[in-house]
Amino acid sequence: MSPALHWIFILIAGVFEIGWVFSLKSTQGFTKFLPMISYAICGLGAAFFLSQAMKSLPMGTSYAVWVGIAIVGSNILGMVILGEPSTLPRITFILLITIGVIGLKLSSAG
């Protein structure tokens, strides 16, 4: 399998992880049944695609990029969809995480 495909797997895993965290919030403390189904599906999807990426990419880099995608994506969607604060410091730190994720990707051998 090509290394580019493994990076696509990390991206897919990150999207599933964003869905996982949104589903977790929607369960309202595991009191809502349908979001719990989404929570389980997204969690399994995130773990599956991350494990596929780790077949050829370094574990630390894979994990950091995956978490970075989830952090940045969930923060942006939280601001856009849930009306969470979009202050300059928050946006600045999201950009710093993004720069770190890009740096890890560019510096990876895979």
Span 22-73, pLDDT tens digits = 999 999 999 999 999 999 999 999 999 999 999 999 998 899 999 999 999 9
Q: 36 exposed, middle or buried (CB, 10 Å; 0-12, 13-18, 19+)? A: middle
The predicted model scores a pTM of 0.88
Task: For the chain, give every domain's residue range.
Answer: 3-107
Q: Determine the straight-line distance between the first and last CA of the chain, rounded to whole angstroms.
A: 11
> What number is the average pLDDT over the span 77-84?
95
Q: What does the pLDDT look like over 7-21, one tens digit per residue? A: 999 999 999 999 999
106 — pLDDT class (breaks 50, 70, 90): confident
- pLDDT of 110 reads 57
- pLDDT of 109 reads 65
